[in-house]
Chain A
């Protein structure tokens, strides 16, 4: 069974059609990249999977049920973690937000919750920064903290919205290397513009611009570096055409 099943999904805001007849299956331990132009409906699709927007036309099932039922099995890393950097909050407190609110103690955080949060920070290599103010971190470090927050709830799927859009090249590479490690036991879905970077890691690529185009990258030579070690997106898109 696919862990995410999307069938004949269409979605519109007011009268404007955002998504049209989307069909997509995500299998366990997939590394799915969602690419496409701005306003093409990528973030909307994520919001539907996360149950933030309601499905009206077609269906989405996560783990065989409606999205709202399985939020605890999905970790989410939102776009734009550079906002609100003045906020007085420690790294560990941000990560602790990842816990589900049901089994909380009367006051504050339980010991297991704090330990679990420290463990998540260790997973992303940020445990040394637990007591630092979130605003004092670099963009890449902050993004890793957000991944730790998502990992805190032990998700089976990790969804990231433009995780590297405002991070320098080294930071981007670190993030993707981290995702690669996590992918050994977690399904990963990444929305991204960085087509060049993501190709090295994803096993499935879908292009969304209202409609969905699917590319299975397994068995493809996706390290499309040419002689001068420059990644050529034109060659890549030619490759897409062959796969189709």
Chain B
């Protein structure tokens, strides 16, 4: 086990796991309290179209995925404003079209044989130095933005109608939360893959919600739980030679089950 820590790719994986866990703990809290889980799913799957475009054009994967994810976030923001009652239909559409586009473009890319499963289920052991900069930068941006606008984000999340009456630009903050979610989803795809992203954004958050009196406490606890699950999942995957993304999610799910059982009989 410990000799594994000397490999650079394992070190990168551990750092990436912690950075992404902290980001997804913070943003996952916002997604859960704003009831945006399905939206985040839509964004994750739409991002796959961006991965396809990036592979096809030979540009960095994070760039392609980020552009698609942000575009999806902006479209959702507009739909929420104009056709709220049709929201689920539109998100379902984006979800499927994004995936289809990604699959077709990767098929069309000449000589591309890379394992496209890695985007569906994560490839944390293939994290590069540049990926780490992107993850670290995103976490820093998230922390800065939320420290500065915490009270506005809290007000919009808790009671958007009232926040609007107090002169807070609800649309701006709603869109901001969506865009930050989109970017977090993109980095989380690297760790657990786009199919499992939702679990990473919700399971630790759900446990933290039950134990928190305030939103920032929920964010901190979610980040900590998420880090623990991710590191435990990585160890599990290394030890038994199984897929890392799925290990992380299963460890989280088992922890949730234990927590709920314990909570019930307490």
Instruction: Tell me the A residues contacting B by CB distance below 8 Å.
Output: 50, 52, 71, 76, 78, 84, 86-90, 93-94, 96-102, 104, 106-109, 131-133, 149, 153
Q: Report whether B158 and A97 are in contact in the complex, using a CB–CB cutoff of 8 Å.
A: yes
Determine if B159 and A101 form an interchain contact, defined as CB atoms under 8 angstroms apart: no
Structural contact, B165 and A93, CB atoms closer than 8 A: no
Q: A84-B158, A88-B215, A107-B148 are in contact. Are A97 and B167 (CB under 8 A)?
A: no
Contact yes or no, A86 B166, CB < 8 A: no
Contacts of A87 in B (CB 8 A): 33, 157-158, 215
Contact A100 B166 (CB under 8 A): yes
Residues of B within 8 A of A100 (CB): 166-167
A78 touches B161 (CB 8 A): yes
Number of A-B contacts (CB under 8 A): 69
Interface string of B137-171 (1 = CB under 8 A from A): 00000000001101110110111011111111000
Residue of A nearest to B155 (CB): A97
Assembled-state Cα–Cα distance A71/B167 (Å): 9
A106 and B152 within 8 A (CB): no
Q: Is the CB of A108 within 8 A of B151?
A: yes
Binds A, one of B74-82, B86-94, B195-203, B206-214: B206-214
Contact (Cβ within 8 A) B166 A89: no
- Decide if B212 touches A52 in the complex (CB within 8 Å): no
B218 contacts A97, CB within 8 Å?
Answer: no
B103 within 8 A of A: no
Name the one of A50, A88, A108 contacting B212, with C-beta atoms under 8 angstroms: A88
Classify the interface of chain B: helix, strand, loop or mixed. Answer: helix
New A-B pairs, 5, CB < 8 Å, besides A71-B166, A78-B161, A84-B158: A78-B159, A97-B155, A99-B166, A102-B167, A153-B166
A101 to B173, CA, bound (A): 14
A97 to B152, CA, bound (A): 8
Question: Complex formed: what's the CA distance from A109 to B165 in Å?
Answer: 19
Q: Does B217 contact A (CB under 8 A)?
A: yes
User: C-beta contact mask, B215-227 vs A, less than 8 Å → 1, else 0?
Assistant: 1011000000000
Contact for A104 among B151, B164, B218, CB less than 8 A: B151
- Contact call A131/B166, Cβ cutoff below 8 A: no
CB atoms of B165 and A71 under 8 A apart? yes
Count contacts on B: residues with CB < 8 A to the other chain. Answer: 26
Closest to A50 in B: B165
Determine the chain A residues whose CB is within 8 A of the CB of B213 once the complex forms.
88-90, 131-133
- The reply to whether B214 and A89 form a contact with Cβ atoms under 8 Å apart is yes
Known A78-B161, A93-B154, A96-B151; judge A86-B167 contact (CB<8 A). Answer: no
Q: Which residues of B contact A153 (CB under 8 A)?
A: 166
Contacts of A101 in B (CB 8 A): 151-152, 166-168
Cβ contact of A93, chosen from B161, B164, B167, B214, cutoff 8 A: B214
* Chain B residues with CB under 8 A of A107: 147-148, 150
Residue among A50, A86, A96, A101 with max Cβ neighbours from chain B (10 Å): A101
Whole-angstrom CA separation of A90 from B158 in the bound complex: 11
Which 10 residue pairs of A and B lie closest in terms of their CB atoms, listed nearest first? A88-B212, A88-B218, A97-B155, A133-B213, A88-B215, A89-B158, A87-B158, A90-B213, A101-B167, A101-B168
In the complex, chain A residues whose CB is within 8 Å of the CB of B150: 107-108
A151 to chain B, nearest CB (A): 14
Return the chain A residue nearest B215 by Cβ.
A88
Closest Cβ–Cβ distance, residue A128 to chain B (whole Å): 15
List residues of chain B with CB within 8 A of the CB of A98: 166
Inter-chain contact B158/A76, CB cutoff 8 Å: no
Partner of B209, one of A86, A108, A131: A86
Are B159 and A97 within 8 A (Cβ)? yes
CB distance from B36 to the nearest CB of A (A): 14
User: Across the two chains, which residue of chain A brings its CB closest to B221?
Assistant: A88
Contact A76 B165 (CB under 8 A): yes
Bound-state CA distance A149–B166 (Å) is 11
Q: Which residues of A contact B148 (CB under 8 A)?
A: 106-107
Known: A104-B151, A106-B148. A88 touches B217 (CB 8 A): yes
Contacts of A131 in B (CB 8 A): 213
CB–CB B151/A89 < 8 A: no
In contact, A94 and B158 (Cβ under 8 angstroms): yes
Chain A neighbourhood of B154, CB < 8 A = 89, 93, 97
User: Would you call B162 and A97 a contact (CB within 8 A)?
Assistant: yes
When C-beta atoms are compared, the residue in chain B nearest to A136 turns out to be B213
Q: A84: nearest residue on chain B (CB-CB)? A: B158
Complex CA gap A234/B152 in Å reads: 48
A88 and B33 alpha carbons, distance in the complex (Å): 8
When distances are taken between beta carbons in the complex, the residues of chain A under 8 Å from B157 are 87
- Complex Cα spacing A90 to B167, Å: 22
Q: How far is the CA of A104 from the CA of B217 in the complex (A)?
A: 22
Residue of B at shortest CB range from A109?
Answer: B151
In the bound complex, do residue B151 and residue A76 qualify as a contact, i.e. CB atoms below 8 Å apart?
no
